Amino acid sequence: MKKGLFISFEGGDACGKSTQVNLVKKFFEENFNSDDYVFIREPGGTPLAEKIRDLILNYTEDKPLPMTELLLFCAARSQITQNVILPALNSGKIVIADRFYDSTIAYQGEARGIMSKNDIISLTRTIIGDLKPDLTFYLKISAQEAFKRKKPNEVLDNIESAGLEFHKAVERGYDFIADVEKERFCVIDATKTPEQIFNIIKEKISQKISENDKKTR
């Protein structure tokens, strides 16, 4: 049976991640059978997880405590892992995720300081077992450069609107994970043009799919 492939996209706010995910989605729509892949986002991806997403990002009162925020992310991840990701991978599909647990390590671990990065990794394993992406694209940009990209009247959610020091810590968190897990991380300079970035991503994805196909023959 064909082995599934799990690809994730990570990066701080304003790194251009959403643009690249949309370009990859178009690439898959044009070159693959729709039954062969699934696109998801975190938090979200199931009816319950989407409601959790709204609780985290758009609260107007009763602000979640830091630990509450972490556990809400974990709850949403548990839901989408069991209901979407694992069934898709087990049926041989390619799963492309707009964020996964690396975001929690960077945002809730390094930036929020709720738990140590290693404790969050242990919590993640309790929730989703040994599941991890086969390939992770990290669009790296400095927090200072990211802030320059934000428009003066842009509507930001509760995490996007955190200050510069918070997003510097997010950057440190991602750099830590990318250094520890070099074998699955593809670090891309997010100051390149969208076309340049997409060409790197497209080539790397095609290579990974080819390698995966050879393993399952």
Q: What are the mean pLDDT values of the chain's consecutive 10-residue runs (217 residues total)?
A: 90 94 98 97 95 86 88 96 97 97 95 92 95 98 86 63 85 96 97 98 97 81
Report the alpha-carbon distance of residue 121 to residue 83 in Å, rounded.
21
How many C-beta neighbours within 10 Å does residue 211 have? 12
Report the alpha-carbon distance of residue 96 to residue 155 in Å, rounded.
26
Report the alpha-carbon distance of residue 204 to residue 101 in Å, rounded.
21
Stated as kind and residue range, the H or E segment containing 206 is: helix 194-215
3-class secondary structure, 98: strand
Report the alpha-carbon distance of residue 103 to residue 69 in Å, rounded.
13
| pLDDT reported for residue 96 | 98
**Tokens matching residue 185:** 């991380």
Q: What are the φ/ψ torsions at residue 146 (nearest 5 degrees)?
A: -60, -40
Report the alpha-carbon distance of residue 48 to residue 80 in Å, rounded.
9
| pLDDT reported for residue 142 | 95
C-beta of residue 107 within 8 angstroms of C-beta of residue 174:
no
**Tokens matching residue 33:** 């059978």
Angle, alpha carbons 149-194-171 (nearest 5°): 50
User: Is the pTM value of this prediction over 0.85?
Assistant: yes
How many C-beta neighbours within 10 Å does residue 212 have? 17
C-beta of residue 101 within 8 angstroms of C-beta of residue 129:
no
In the chain, the number of structural domains is 1
85: containing domain? 5-215
Report the alpha-carbon distance of residue 74 to residue 120 in Å, rounded.
10
Domain with residue 59: its CATH number is 3.40.50.300
